[in-house]
Homo-oligomer: A and B are copies of this chain.
Amino acid sequence: MAASTLTEVARLAGVSPATASRVLNGSARTPGKDIAERVRQAADSLGYIPNAQAQGLAKSSSGLIGLIVHDIADPYFAAIARGVQDAAREQRKMVLLATTGGGPAEEKEAVAAFAARRADSIVIAGSRSCRAEDQEGNAQLAAELDRYCRNGGRVAVVGHPVVGATALEGYHVVEVPNQELAGRLATELAAGWDGDFVIIGGPDGLYTSDDRVRGFQEGLARAGHRPAEVLRSAFNRSGGYEAGLQLAARIKAASAGNPAAPKLCIFAVNDVMAIGAAAALRSEGLRIPRDASIAGFDDIETLRDFRPALSTVRLPLEDIGRLATRATRPRPAGQDQEAASDEAVTGEVTLRRSTEAAAV
C-alpha cells in the first residue's frame, strides 16, 4: 500500500509539509486563502489520501471503535452491531469487528488486538459467564481491560460487567433489565394460565440466561404460581431444538395418559432458542399454541414474521448498541460522568399468538 504522501503534495504545491498538513486537516492555524487553494488542488491532482496510521501515530488516537460479539451472523448481535455502527458514524469513527464464539479467552485476545490498534474505545456485546471453566479466562479478560482502561481506553459492556473488573475510569456498563423484564413476562403469562411452566435456559453460569431464568421464576412467584422446571441447553437455535424434543416427548406422554392434561407453557430465554423449540415441537406433530404455549426474549426483527407470532420481550437492540457506543465517548467537560451514561434501557413485554390462552 503505497500512495502519495503529504510531502509530495506539499512539494507540488510549493509549500512546506507543515502548511500542507494545516490546510488539509482543520488545524487551529488557517493558512492563507490562495495557498490553501493551491494545496488543495495539488492534493486533488495527486489523489492524496492521508495515512490514518501515521495520523494516529502522531496524534495518538486512531478513530477506531472495537466491537466484540460472539457471532456476527446471530441476529441479536447483528442488531446491536447496527446500532454501534450507527453511533460510530456519528463520532466519525470506524468499527473494528471481532467475533469470539463466546469464550473469555478469545475476548481477551480481541481486547489485546484492539489495544494494539489503539482503538479509542471498545464495546463488548457478548454475554458474560461465571462458569468455573471460564474463571481463569475472565480474570485475564478483566486484567486486559484494566490495562486498556489505565492507558486511557474506554470500554462499554452490554448487560453484565466483566467479572472481576474493578470499576475503572472509562469503564461503562449498559444495564439490560433482563431480570425485571423476564419477571414481567412471567406475571403476564401467569395471569391467564393454569398449567405448568417450563424454562429452556442456556448453560448454567451465563448471566444473561441466568438473569432471565431468575426473573421469570420471581415473576411466577409474585403471581402465586409454583416455580418452573428449568432445562439447560445451548444458548442457540439447536439448543432450543433439543430441549424442544425433550418437551415434545413429555407432552405427548402426558396427553396420552390423560387427554385433558393441562397445557405446558415454555419460556425460552431467547427468541432463537424459542424458534428452535417450536420447530422441535412441530416436527413431533405438536401445534402451537394448541398443544403448548411458547415465549421467547429479544424480539428479533427477522423472526417477527414467524407464525404463530412469538410472544417475547422486545429489547431495543439497536439502541443498546448505540448507547454503549455513546457511553464510551468522552463526556463534554462540564458533564457529570454518570449523568448521561445511565440512559436506561427499557424493554416491553409483547404477547402474541404463541401464548394465546384462548386457544386452550
Q: Show the binding face of A for B, using Cβ within 8 Å.
A: 1-3, 47, 49-54, 56-57, 60-62, 67, 71-75, 78-79, 81-82, 85, 94-99, 112-113, 115-120, 147, 151-153, 237, 272, 275-276, 278-279, 282, 300-303, 305-307, 318
Contact = CB atoms under 8 A, between A and B. Distances in A.
* 4 closest residue pairs by CB, A with B: A73-B82, A52-B116, A78-B78, A3-B151
Nearest to A65: B97
A151 B95 contact: no
Contacts of A147: 3, 47
Contacts of A49: 112, 115-116
A98 B94 CA distance: 7
Copies in the complex: 2
Nearest to A75: B302
Contact of A305 (B50, B152, B275): B275
A116 B82 contact: no
7 contacts: A1-B62, A49-B112, A49-B115, A49-B116, A50-B116, A72-B85, A95-B97
A61 B153 contact: no
A120 B53 CA distance: 13
A2 B151 contact: yes
A300 B237 CA distance: 14
Contacts of A57: 51, 53-54, 57
Nearest to A77: B78
Contacts of A116: 49-52
Contacts of A115: 1, 3, 49
Given A53-B118, A71-B82, A278-B305, 4 more contacts: A2-B60, A2-B151, A52-B113, A73-B81
A52 B117 contact: yes
A53 B50 contact: no
A117 B94 contact: yes
B53 A1 contact: no
A237 to B, nearest CB: 8
Contacts of A98: 94
A97 B321 CA distance: 15
A57 B50 CA distance: 12
A40 to B, nearest CB: 16
A82 B101 CA distance: 11
Contact of A85 (B3, B99, B303, B305): B99
